[in-house]
Structure 1
Amino acid sequence: MRVRKMLSSAIVAGIVLSVVPTMSFAIGGASGPKVDYAIPGKIGEVVVNPYEVAPLTAVIRSGGYDLKDVSVRIVPKPGGQEIKYKVTDQNVLTHGGIPVFGLYADYQNTVEVEYTKSVNNAQGEHIKESYKIYTTGVYSDPNGLATTKASLFSSADVVKVDKEFSDRLYFVNNFLPKAGKGTRAVWNNPMGGALEWNYYPQNFIIDTKGEVRWFMNAQPIYDINSIYKAGVMMGFKQNVDGAMTWGYGQRYVKYDIMGKEIFNRQLPAGYNDFSHSLDVSPNGHYFMRVGSANQKRLDGKNVRTVRDVIIEVEPQSGKVLDEWKLYSILDPYRDINMKVLDQGAVCLNIDASKAGHTLSAEELAKQDASDKFGDVVGSGPGRNWAHVNSVDHDAEDNSIIISSRHQSAMIKIGRDKQVKWILGSPEGWNAKYKDKLLTPVDSKGNKIDCGPSGSKCPGYESDKGGFDWTWTQHTAFKIDSKSKGEILYLSAFDNGDSRGMEQPAMPSMKYSRAVIYKVDQKKMTVEQVWEFGKERGNKWFSPVTSITEYQTDKDSVFTYSATAGADFDLATGGFKSDPNPFIMEFKYGAKQPSVEIQLKDTTGYQAMPFSIEKAFSK
């Protein structure tokens, strides 16, 4: 009987081994410990989403071999976009194998890899092989609103992609609309701040076919219920080393595109409420837009300030090297533009029930005299008087350029904290700043007459060309490669609210523009050299958010009209539908885009071209 059992066990073991001869199942025994997972190729195992943050990535482990000369190709879907890249030896060592990026969601991907493998760096064997890698579907945390789906967007309408741009990938920084789940905490020590800005992130990369090729699973690094681990993810930049930096709430972070953490830090103790902008200077320093965590006002009150402080941080140590307190540099009581802001869309605080409404001088004065501080339109430290949404370090003269939405102005400030110039309507500035205001000129250098107030220039009306200022603009970025010495080229997204220092007769008259200016810093003049958007009218109008930025690699201008096409419900004060943002890219100076992709049903902040070469080949 005992012999029969032993024979039966031996037969069963033989059957198991014969069924799966290529897979390692033994976990011990006379031969010693072995792996008990599948090795599908000629090196190691495949690990999908290796750092829990990027579900459409994988690592093919080295299997103990030394790997060199690695390249990866994601075989496209029929009619799809190929993703192909080389991988530096350093990236192979960092990830313990071959990093795979750009997988399709909910799909059996075919991944072709080439590499040279060796043992102890002996003469290597050149290998070509393919892997089948299945991935999860795209997922986004729902927030309970009728318009919100558990996806990043409902569809992408690819209108146009010129051949030269067909290899593009676009990183998109979006988020869910505000919901009750993320609005549980406010600062009260001291009063004020902008902590109620708390929207679940929707960050992803699409190709020029409109397919998602990467998305962020934020849960491992984000907690919407935690004061110090939540906020709005903003200010994404791809660094020279290919990694991504950005911030959210009380944190600023750096991760590579595979999801590997480089650092994740709390803001320095004297500051709070990061949002909008983290600029990476050519010198490697970070310039971040924050607020002061505790500022003594002239009236003796202590407040947390709102979107009006810039800090410079050394990247390795996290030390604060310098700060720009804008309420001490600019005039925080200039309120002329705040009186004409559409209160239905004060940046991301969208309240459709207040669409078209403005604050009277009496209402604004009453608010300024109260103890109501925080993310409210008003004057002075502790209120949202500046709303700076971008900062750009000009390393050429060691100054910063900021975009102040609530002043409808782009301003250059030196290291000495003195204003160098102001690009914006001259209306309402006090005498201290009069000689800092740029004078608009045409291409021949002739002064342009913008009327008695200086706010209504020849390009003020949508059916006429010519110069115009920016209004509640986002992003003011120097175009380094085209600027030299006293001549500076500046790109901006002109949202267009309060254009001409007023609200139009009908909301449908509003429009946005992508625009480039030429600033002569010696003559103190500004010339408008390019614009787009006026011809698209209200359908391209983004009341808030968005970006315009020059791209060196293709001598192009990228723009994202990020909240275009939102359908507001004035009865409920909410959205009937989410916005339908436009991704566009232009050859420099072109009047029509080379790329036009419209995303449907998603709330956008900003976007940018993403470089695989930077991420893996450098």
Structure 2
Amino acid sequence: MSEKVAYTCEDHLITQQNRKEKAFLTAFEAEKPCLDNAHIVVNPYIINPLSALILFKTDKKVTATVTVHGKRNSREDITHTFAESTSHVIPVLCLYEGIETKVTVALSDGQSKTFQIQSEELPKDVCRCKNILTSMDYFGTNIMFLTPAGKNLPTGYDYKGDIRWLLTVNTMFDIKRLANGNIMTGSSRFCRMPYNATGLVELSLIGKIYKEYRMPGNYHHDHWEMEDGNILALTQDFRNSTVEDMIALLDRETGEVLRTWDFKDFLPQNVGGSGSQDAHDWFHNNALWYNKKNNSITLSGRHQDAVVNIDYDTSKLNWIIGDPEGWPQEMVDKYFFTPVGDVENFDWQYEQHACVVCPDGDIMCFDNGQYRAKVKEKYIKNRDNFSRGVRYRIDTDKMEIEQVWQYGKELGQQFFSPYISNVEYYDEGHYMIHSGGISAVDGYASDGLGAFMDPKDPSVELHSTTVEEKDGVVLYKMDVEGNFYRGEKLSPYHGGENLVLGEGRLVGNLDETPTFDTIPDVEEVNELPSSERQIAIEEDEDRFVFHGMFEHGSLAMVVLAGEKENRGYYLNTAAVSHLAMCSGAFLEKDDRQLKMNISKIGLSGKYEIKVIYNDKMYQTGITIYC
């Protein structure tokens, strides 16, 4: 460690959780407490300060019912019964912040005990609910989970807007509940800009991570649990010149990539582009949906203003929903739909998110509406635009499309979100619409994305609005501070089993970080880089992340000087403009601040870390062992 180069080495969060679980279980097994003197562990898995475990033994098998009492009345109580056991490890979810929460455990043999559990404090900058309109009769004890689109955190709100769930690590993109009751979401670990994480994590709502699925092409945006448990996940191949245009099928147990789909095999890259398209991010896949009925995958391509459907087995293109302007006529004739019905009120979707296949085959999405045209001369200013949830009815025999529902157009710029957001289908006429990227400057919809804006600027307002509508009546509306990627309503508890214990695992693999062909022949000096370079190195079990500040256009490289080899990793100091930023978790305030993830795959032995800046190679004083 030096004053100029910061270095940290930390075990992976899974390792930290394994160690903590082993410690409290060892104490539990040694003491074998009964219900009256049960062990209570607050925030047992480090990352959920509004959770606890109650651990106790019973002489015979009994069921245990936990009640997390509401702070206002008994209608707010969250109650769940666990399966019979003699060894009870009861997860307590949805503690209130800042006060003691009354929690009762009642056993089927008549025993009962009430505890007062004080939660840990939440981070000071959590995003608060600004306004909520709903009722206990409608929303009950469900929690609205919002996933972050910036430096904010995954947060869950009850029917009053109180924060009842929070993770203190920035897991990203969608949360989905798995068949076993756990949730799956993106890892919080940085891998590549702008928002590629190492992979997916499966965890319980209490915060225990069971697996991290590392992916060679990293993870972004969305995933899907197949019937056999395997996982479809959005990814890319960084050996190519394009991104966000692949799906990987992951083995649920091992994380092995079983199969991939490359969108360039069934779509052209240089046609039908949205206002945010470039050659690198030509499709920008932000959602997928598997439909067992016809064995197809539906995809949302933001940068082609297109919802696309392909055959799962053959990758054959079936159809495209979107404005056909700019597409080849032969594709328009074969794959696009013709509007029917109330065509005067029909609108195509633009730069959409979150495609959903309804039970009857209708297609829903969140129509962000960014630009709302295919030709630059027709682009609409954000302050004059609208976003909405929309449902289309498609006839694939006649290739006709009818707009059968929408919510949001009538709200104009106040509901406009140029990025992120989602919709959910609950039942016929019962939907959720989450506009997660609302941003305004001086009261008008901003021209930029919220992820690039400074929430501390008094002229800037960032918020998210989540609405649930049933048969045309709004029964839930919540406005919260900050932009949030998606919303997902879930009950806190699921299934009757006790918490599954045991060591979490890292599965799958990262790719081997590519090296630069040659290391420049520059003068090596026995000194540290200037403090202006702000060099920092973060190491964990399978990689390290290099941070530094470099002027645009300068020569910069990380060099690993080994006993048997030297490896050079080029740092791109060119100014980069991002047309999409669905999560700003990894963004820096100064675009000269760079970071690079270097996988330990392919490394062996001891390496000294050095830095080339312009015409000199500097020491860092840091050595890693692989």
TM-score when normalising by structure 1? 0.67
For 1:113-192, list aligned pairs within 5 A.
113-116=105-108, 125-139=109-123, 150-161=124-135, 163-176=137-150
Structure 2 residue 50 is the aligned partner of structure 1 residue 56: yes
Aligned partner (choices 311, 327, 331) of residue 429 of structure 1: 327
Structure 1: give runs of 5+ residues left out of the alignment: 1-32, 117-124, 140-149, 177-199, 223-231, 296-302, 342-376, 449-457, 459-465
Aligned partner (choices 277, 302, 315) of residue 222 of structure 2: 277
Query: What is the one-letter code of the residue matched to 1:60?
Result: I
Structure 2 residue 477 is the aligned partner of structure 1 residue 596: yes
For 1:216-295, list aligned pairs within 5 A.
216-218=167-169, 233-248=172-187, 249-267=197-215, 269=216, 271-272=217-218, 274-295=219-240
CA contact 1:161–1:596 (8 Å) conserved in 2: no
1:364 is aligned to none
Aligned partner (choices 207, 212, 218) of residue 163 of structure 2: 212
Distance in 2 between residues matched to 1:536 and 1:242, nearest whole Å = 36
Structure 2: give runs of 5+ residues left out of the alignment: 1-26, 188-196, 499-626
Q: CA deviation at 1:201?
A: 5.2
Structure 2 residue 466 is the aligned partner of structure 1 residue 583: yes
1:476 is aligned to 355
Q: CA deviation at 1:617?
A: 6.6
2:340 is aligned to 442
Q: CA deviation at 1:574?
A: 3.3
Structure 1 53/99 Cα, relative in aligned 2: closer, same or farther at 3 Å? same
1:82 is aligned to 76
Structure 2 residue 378 is the aligned partner of structure 1 residue 386: no
Distance in 1 between residues matched to 2:447 and 2:223, nearest whole Å = 35
Structure 2 residue 190 is the aligned partner of structure 1 residue 310: no
Structure 1 550/438 Cα, relative in aligned 2: closer, same or farther at 3 Å? same
2:512 is aligned to none
How many residues align? The count is: 451
Q: Deviations over 1:296-323 (max 9, x none)?
A: xxxxxxx4x3111011222123232321
Aligned partner (choices 363, 366, 391) of residue 493 of structure 1: 366
Q: CA deviation at 1:89?
A: 2.0
Structure 1 34/424 Cα, relative in aligned 2: closer, same or farther at 3 Å? closer
CA contact 1:240–1:614 (8 Å) conserved in 2: no
CA contact 2:76–2:140 (8 Å) conserved in 1: no
Aligned partner (choices 313, 320, 325) of residue 257 of structure 2: 320
Distance in 2 between residues matched to 1:260 and 1:66, nearest whole Å = 28
Distance in 2 between residues matched to 1:596 and 1:570, nearest whole Å = 25
Aligned partner (choices 395, 407, 424) of residue 549 of structure 1: 424
Distance in 2 between residues matched to 1:206 and 1:385, nearest whole Å = 36
2:623 is aligned to none
CA contact 1:391–1:476 (8 Å) conserved in 2: yes
Q: SS state of the match for residue 158, structure 1?
A: strand
Q: Between Structure 1 and Structure 2, whose CA radius of gyration is higher?
A: 1
Distance in 1 between residues matched to 2:354 and 2:74, nearest whole Å = 33
Structure 1 34/425 Cα, relative in aligned 2: closer, same or farther at 3 Å? closer
Distance in 1 between residues matched to 2:28 and 2:316, nearest whole Å = 67
Stretch deviating more after TM superposition (566-575 or 529-538): 566-575
Distance in 1 between residues matched to 2:381 and 2:308, nearest whole Å = 30
CA contact 2:224–2:231 (8 Å) conserved in 1: yes
Q: CA deviation at 1:327?
A: 1.7
Q: SS state of the match for residue 538, structure 1?
A: helix
Query: What is the one-letter code of the residue matched to 1:208?
Result: Y
Q: SS state of the match for residue 414, structure 2?
A: helix
1:106 is aligned to 98
CA contact 2:373–2:379 (8 Å) conserved in 1: no
Aligned partner (choices 509, 512, 516) of residue 391 of structure 2: 516
Q: Deviations over 1:385-423 (max 9, x none)?
A: 111100111112221100000000100011211110000
Stretch deviating more after TM superposition (409-418 or 158-167): 158-167
Structure 1 234/616 Cα, relative in aligned 2: closer, same or farther at 3 Å? farther
Q: CA deviation at 1:555?
A: 6.8
Q: SS state of the match for residue 174, structure 2?
A: strand
Structure 1 80/515 Cα, relative in aligned 2: closer, same or farther at 3 Å? farther
Q: Deviations over 1:226-280 (max 9, x none)?
A: xxxxxx611321112210111231211100111222211211x3x23x1111122
Q: CA deviation at 1:61?
A: 0.4
Query: What is the one-letter code of the residue matched to 1:287?
Result: L
Q: Deviations over 1:34-78 (max 9, x none)?
A: 999997951521111111122111111024655532212111112
CA contact 1:62–1:97 (8 Å) conserved in 2: yes
Indicate the RMSD between aligned Cα atoms, in angstroms. Answer: 3.0
Query: What is the one-letter code of the residue matched to 2:466?
Result: I
Identity %: 23
Query: What is the one-letter code of the residue matched to 2:231?
Result: Y
Distance in 2 between residues matched to 1:159 and 1:80, nearest whole Å = 20
Query: What is the one-letter code of the residue matched to 1:337?
Result: G
CA contact 1:492–1:515 (8 Å) conserved in 2: yes
Distance in 1 between residues matched to 2:421 and 2:83, nearest whole Å = 37
Structure 2 residue 29 is the aligned partner of structure 1 residue 45: no
Q: SS state of the match for residue 438, structure 2?
A: coil
CA contact 2:33–2:56 (8 Å) conserved in 1: no
Q: CA deviation at 1:581?
A: 0.7
Structure 1 507/201 Cα, relative in aligned 2: closer, same or farther at 3 Å? closer
Structure 1 278/201 Cα, relative in aligned 2: closer, same or farther at 3 Å? farther
1:367 is aligned to none
Structure 1 34/263 Cα, relative in aligned 2: closer, same or farther at 3 Å? closer
CA contact 2:392–2:404 (8 Å) conserved in 1: yes
CA contact 2:391–2:403 (8 Å) conserved in 1: yes
Query: What is the one-letter code of the residue matched to 2:122?
Result: V
Distance in 2 between residues matched to 1:489 and 1:332, nearest whole Å = 27
TM-score when normalising by structure 2? 0.67
Structure 1 35/322 Cα, relative in aligned 2: closer, same or farther at 3 Å? closer
Structure 1 127/578 Cα, relative in aligned 2: closer, same or farther at 3 Å? farther
